[in-house]
Every structure is written in structure tokens, then in C-alpha cells.
Amino acid sequence: MVRDGNSLPIGAPKQRALLATLLLASGQVVSRDSIVDALWGDSPPRAAVNSLQVYVHGLRQALGAERIETHGVGYKLRIEPGELDLDRFRRLVERGRRALADSHASDAAEDLRQALELWLGPPLADLSAEPIVDAEAPRLDELRLQAVELRNDSELALGRHDALLPELERLIAEQPYRERFREQYVLALYRSGRQKDALEAYRDARSALLDELGIDPGAALRELERGILRHDPALAAPEAQPRTEWHLPVPPTPLIGRRLEVAAVAGMLRRDDVRLVTLTGPGGTGKTRLALAVAEELAPGLRDGAAFVDLAAVRDASLLGSTIAHALGLHEGDEPLARVVAERLRTQSVLLVLDNLEQLLPGTTFIADLLAATPRLLVLATSRAPLRLSAEHVYPVPPLPTPDPAGSPSFEELTANDAVRLFAARASGRSRLRAHGRGRP
């Protein structure tokens, strides 16, 4: 559990096990008897109910009294939409499953990769001695393994069999009897031009299943071997799809004092229900630098990265669409630019950074139309005022705190202050620019 970037003190193992039980219920009421079973298994102490009440009280102190609701002889943890990683994991996996079934392998690969990035280690690892682990950890790990299988299927559908081979070797070493990993490995070897190795991998799979489990390979694995022997054209590798390359500008100064803001804004844009965030605040607060830092944070996790559009010099709101198009390397032809931009981004998974929008507010309906036409586009805008669009989430960027002159700060305190450091970095940059200008012929 994290609040404002900091881990919350949840307490002793039994109290953490109670929290895990309520979290795994995803906002549903859990009966007292079920909680006692989860915390103590088949041998609860006589004072189990009293101990449970103590743990509930401790959680209410840590999380807030309103978080844990009493319903008869049960409890419910109030969870906001998008707050629980497990729920987000399930939504991403289901979305990836549908995308793969609809032959949208790029979308599926991205959804499943994002889902698996939510796993930071074995489930319930800090509760290894608690009964809840035996009941819940295998189920949670099975969800993860199913997502890994789907991710591998999407990577194979994108022609990335060569890159997938080392991961499949690792997975087979960890899960030697999971046939789907064996199938994917055999297919990846065959598509890499290694038919002999693919057949050897099939024989290894058959031997492991027979020797250890006493069963023959399943129908899918047997049919895969037959397809390899007859060079079935259906097993041929698809063409690998190139990734769109966008490039962010190199910031003129280092990021100073905005790490929490970067995490907060990036966290907002990772939510399923957020696609437009506007950084607001007066000039000079560092909105552009913060936006670039957020883009650098999110770009590796997006299939097509991030693109930057500088709108500082644009004053005519009607030119917003054409400026975005030119920044993306598009040019007006027979189709209107709005349609050209939407068509270009329709299948892209990209973060579009729109910088200095305050003078173009009358034209920002273009952004709303663009978001409606491009289901995987994210927009991070900077503006002195909100855009007033229905999908907008506003994040005010406050000025960095300055030293209190009344406190007579020391030199060390001044040089450690983020606002002072930022001022010095900007002043140093301007000085270098002026010196460079004087040296020109």
C-alpha cells in the first residue's frame, strides 16, 4: 500500500494478511468466518474474533477509518476505480485477450506487457508463513502464467520469435510441465529456421511429460510436430512490424525537485480512465520540463513512444491541427488535416505532448475529436489555464518552494534548495548562450 509515494505502515503479519484478504475480495464484503479461515487456517485460537477486531482497528488507523466498512459480521475495503493493481491487471489481460482474438497483435502485446509489469515479485511474498498464501498464491500465479502465455502468443504473431527464445527457455526451466510454453518454444525455433532444434525440443517435451507425469503430449503439441515435419505453410513466421520512432527534445536543464510530480502525473496517465492530463500553472513553474520528464518515463512502456509538439509560437487557434500534423511529419493532401492526423494515430499507442496551449484554447476541441478517433492515444498538455474539455484531468504545477529570507538560511541551505538550484541552472544556461553568441563571427 502506497500513499503519496510512501509505503504505509500496515503492521504485523496477521494484520497484513487481513488487508490482503480484503484486497483480494476487490471491494466485496468478506464474512468474519472467511477472514478467520484466511488468517488462522483450520486451527484458529479461541480469541480469534477479538484479535480480528484489533487488526481491523489497526488497519483503520493506518488507512483511514472510512476505508474499512462493517457489514453485519463481515467487512469490506472501499477501493476506488483503478486503485487496485490486481483489478487493473485483470482488465489489461482481458483487453489483450480480445485484441489478440481480433488479430490486433500489437495492441495485445502492449496490454499484456503493461499487465505483467504490475507484478513486482511472487504473490503475497511477505506473508509466506500465513495460511492465506497456500490458498491464494497459486491462484494468483496461475493468472500471471496465463498472461505470460498470451503475451508470448502476441509476440509470435508479431514475428518476434527470435527475441522470444531466451524468455521461453527460462520459462520452461521454471515450468517444465506447462505444455503451452513448450508449444511456443517449438514454434519459435521452427520460425527461426531451426527445424532440427524444434523437433529436438518436441522430443524433450514428450520425454519430460512421459517420464515425470506418465502422460503423452497434448493434441496441440503433437499436431505442431506433424506440421513441422510436413512444412505446413500455416506455421510460417509473419512479417515483423516496425515500430514508429518519435523523438523527444533534449531538455536544456536537468530535472530539479519534481520527482514526486513526475510519479504522480505518470501514474495518472497509466490509469485506464485517463487519456488527457493538463499541467497548469503560471509561466516559469517548469511545466514543460515536467512534461518532458513524464514523457521520458512513459515512452518505453508505449508501443510507439512519445512525440512532442511545441506550440509556443502559434497564435491562431485554427492552426493547432496543422501544427500537430507537421510535427508528426504529415502534410495536407486531399484529406483535411484533422482526418490525416487521426488516421495516422488511429492504430498508434503514443503519448502526444502538446506544449504551451494557453493561447490556443478556442481550438482545443480538435484535441477532443482526436482522442475520440484514436483509442490508444494519450495527451499530456501544458497550459496556464485548463482546456475545459470533458475528458481532461488537471494537474496544477506549483512553483518550487523558496528559502525563507527571515530565517537567514545558510549557504548550504540555499544551495540545497530546489528553487535556487533551478534558478542557477537556468542562469548558467543563459550565460553560456550569451557567451556563445558573442563568439560568433
The predicted pLDDT at position 64 comes to 87
Residue type, 201: A
* Cα 270 from Cα 251, distance rounded (Å): 23
Q: What is the DSSP letter of 210?
A: I
Contact (CB, 8 A) for 171 and 181: yes
* CA-based max dimension of the chain: 90
The predicted pLDDT at position 348 comes to 86
* Cα 4 from Cα 221, distance rounded (Å): 49
What is the CATH architecture of 2-77?
Answer: Orthogonal Bundle (1.10)
Residue ranges of E strands in 65-141? 68-71, 74-77
DSSP-based three-state secondary structure for 410: coil
Residue type, 67: R
For the 87-235 domain, the top CATH level (class) is: mainly alpha
The predicted pLDDT at position 439 comes to 40
The predicted pLDDT at position 337 comes to 74
Sole residue written with cell 469490506: 76
* Average pLDDT for runs of 10 along the chain of length 441: 60 89 91 93 90 92 89 90 85 94 92 91 88 92 97 95 96 96 97 96 94 91 95 88 76 76 91 92 88 93 91 91 87 73 87 94 91 93 94 88 57 48 50 40 34
Determine the length of the chain: 441
Return phi, psi of residue 80, to 5°: -80, 155
Our CA angle for 352, 358, 363, nearest 5°, is 70
Topology of domain 259-396, CATH: Rossmann fold (3.40.50)
Our CA angle for 89, 90, 92, nearest 5°, is 65
Residues 33-65: tens digit of each pLDDT = 999 999 998 889 999 999 999 999 999 988 888
**Distance, C-alpha 371 to centroid of its chain:** 19
* Cα 206 from Cα 77, distance rounded (Å): 47
Residues 144-184: tens digit of each pLDDT = 999 999 999 999 999 999 999 999 999 999 999 999 999 99
Instruction: Describe the crossing of helices 179-191 and 195-208 by its angle, rounded to 10 degrees.
Output: 170
DSSP-based three-state secondary structure for 202: helix
Partnered with residue 178 across adjacent β-strands are none
